[in-house]
Structure 1
Amino acid sequence: MTYRITGLDPDPFAPYFAMDEAGLAAHGARRVTATADRGFPCRISLEDARQGEELILLHHVSHDVDTPFRSAYAIYVREGVHPLTCDDSLPPAFAGRMMAFRGFDGAGMLAAARLVPGEDGDGAIRDLFADPAVAYIHAQYATNGCFAARIERN
């Protein structure tokens, strides 16, 4: 079984970078500056922002389904980065973090889940995709509970 992890499309987030603080606040978003090289994982590049880099922190609907498992939470995005695509490998931002991998069926219902250190994500992903009921997986940063990336069968 092969899989693909892809960062979010930057286009829907581009307007946020042109907004002033009042405009961002009207959308429930904020401009932040990374205070360390770790702790600000961009959902587009799937890597942590470096200290001093600017990001937008905003509310994002990551699982837009008509089930009890519809999900939204805060995410960070950076300007001027391209979506990272990882085929049968894990993105840099997963390393060193506890990750929750949630396998959903085609109707958006939770079918199975795994909680593992990020370095063990490959095995968890392959294990979940071994279940034919799992159509796709959402990776989440377990500590903060926020969406990290969607994982598709490749």
Structure 2
Amino acid sequence: MFKITALSTDDVRALQAGGPDAYGAVPERTVSTGAGNPCRHCLQNIPEGEEMLILAHRPFSETHPYAETGPIFLCAAPCERYEGAELPEILTTSPDYLIKGYGVDDRIAYGTGAITPTDQIGTAVKDIFARPDIAYIHVRSARNNCYQARIDRA
């Protein structure tokens, strides 16, 4: 069993209020083009024509060699945080995703990274979590390496 973990509401509300991103910059505001603009809080595509934020995100509390930073999108207006174990909308719109496991030290667990077809994510997650050294899994875009969501044990 596993659960999909979206960005925390407190962190997202701070960004929506103009708080700094991972590089200390104010998030950019723009308008969504529809598909391809996934919010990392509600884990849905931001509807076409809706205002959105683009910002640098580092899904780690500290900097270190494995602490990748990259662009993400958020709804500009408050949205509800995704809570669940089923694959959310943003993890069903691409044919595949990059998944990789991390240890409690926030380092990539070698041998876990793989471009995974969308319909095989559940099986791949179970296989990765079968390793005792895995604390959590990141899901990233297979095309652009953008952070999508975290997967935790349920």
Normalising by structure 2, we get a TM-score of: 0.85
1:95 maps onto 2:92 in alignment:
yes
Tell me the distance in 2 between the aligned counterparts of 1:145 and 1:28: 22
**Residues 119 and 50 of structure 1: CA distance in aligned 2, closer, same or farther (over 3 Å):** farther
Number of residue pairs the alignment of both structures matches = 147
Cα deviations by residue, 1:21-65 (Å, 9 ceiling, x for unpaired): xx99x82521111113x1000000111111111111011111334
**Equivalent residues in 2 for 1:3-152, closer than 5 Å:** 3-19=2-18, 27-36=25-34, 38-65=35-62, 67-78=64-75, 79-87=77-85, 89-97=86-94, 98-111=96-109, 112-152=112-152
Q: Residue 41 of structure 2 contacts residue 74 of structure 2 at CA under 8 Å; is this kept in 1? A: yes
Alpha-carbon separation, structure 1, partners of 2:140 and 2:63: 20
Q: Which runs of 5+ in 1 are unaligned?
A: none
Do the aligned partners of 1:63 and 1:70 also contact (CA within 8 Å) in 2? yes
Q: Superposition RMSD on alpha carbons, in Å?
A: 2.1
- CA distance in 2 between counterparts of 1:108 and 1:15 reads 24
SS in 2 for 1:8: coil
In proportion to residue count, which structure has more strand? 1
Report the AA paired with residue 85 of structure 1: E
Amino acid at match of 1:11: D
Normalising by structure 1, we get a TM-score of: 0.85
Counterpart residue type for residue 104 of structure 1: Y
Percent of counterpart pairs with the same letter? 27
